[in-house]
Homo-oligomer: A and B are copies of this chain.
Amino acid sequence: MPKQRQFGTIPNNPVGTRFKDRAELSAAGVHRPTQAGISGGKTEGADSIVLNRGYIDDEDYGDYIVYTGHGGQNTSGIQIAAQKLTDSGNWALKLSFEQELPVRVIRGPKGDPKWSPPEGYRYDGLYKVVRHPWPERGRKGFIVWRYRLERIDQSASIEPADVIESAKGPVERRHGTTDRQIRDSGKAQKLKEEYDFTCQICCTRLDSPSGPIAEAAHIKPLGRPVDGPDTKNNMLCLCPNCHKLIDRFGLLIDDSYRVFKQPDGEDLGKLTLNDRHRVSQEYLGWHRERCALAQANG
């Protein structure tokens, strides 16, 4: 009987633990599969990933990672077809986002030299998938699914290779992941007030004893690599349901601000817009393109 999938830290394997090869990594239970980059089940979520330049579209920034899903490669590792979100590892990593599961990250010798060990594999701590995966045309022209992961484990710093080389003692952490997530909550609050906490898409206004509930959604997400701005023309005041749908490309807004359900295409009518709120066609365009790609490659 297979062992139950283990999420979170594996006892006796603290951040920085080194492994000779994939077999040793697997035996320790830090990343069970000996080949696949994503360890995960389609119903359970993903518990670990290996960053070892399996996909040229991966981007590594240390404390956060833009990871590429799997699939669509030939046996030489060249991208020759689109990736599907429904492929097991891709789906597992999507579940990790939805269920906020911690994902162990292991770096291998072929990863970005700035952050990777020169040989063998290194466990670099727990990360979280912080937004719904989005489709992108990869460097080889085929659709890849991308995931943004951020480090949540601060039990020990990870530092660029050159800093590790030159450091004599423990290096002081420059900034925590926890400090980076701050948005302009004042701007969001003002937008919600402008619309009296009413959803610009479905006109729902949720009330509760502790006040009305609405959310400020970013059309083009913040943070690298997408880098949408934290500005009013990239924001909508939405109910939690429509917010989730927008983030998952389940609602498309056309250039006349008409909203359509995805995948069935049902016309939901026009976005409510007040005179002081100009929503940028550029950001809506980015989102529309992702809606089309998501629908074709779900």
Contacts and interface: CB of A to CB of B under 8 A. Distances in A.
A74 interface: no
Contact of A94 (B185, B186, B210): B210
Of A99, A132, A263, most buried by chain B (CB within 10 Å of CB) is A99
A167 B183 CA distance: 39
Of A178, A249, A298, most buried by chain B (CB within 10 Å of CB) is A178
Of A132, A154, A189, A207, most buried by chain B (CB within 10 Å of CB) is A154
A288 to B, nearest CB: 13
Given A210-B94, A210-B249, A239-B241, A8 B182 contact: yes
A295 B208 CA distance: 9
A66 interface: no
A80 B101 CA distance: 43
A126 B243 CA distance: 28
A294 B155 contact: no
A152 B152 contact: yes
B8 A213 contact: no
A244 interface: yes
Interface residues of A, number: 59
30 contacts: A7-B182, A8-B176, A8-B182, A9-B175, A9-B179, A44-B185, A45-B185, A85-B210, A99-B185, A99-B188, A101-B185, A102-B178, A132-B210, A133-B210, A152-B152, A154-B155, A204-B241, A206-B241, A206-B250, A207-B250, A207-B261, A208-B245, A208-B249, A208-B262, A209-B248, A209-B250, A209-B262, A210-B298, A211-B298, A240-B240
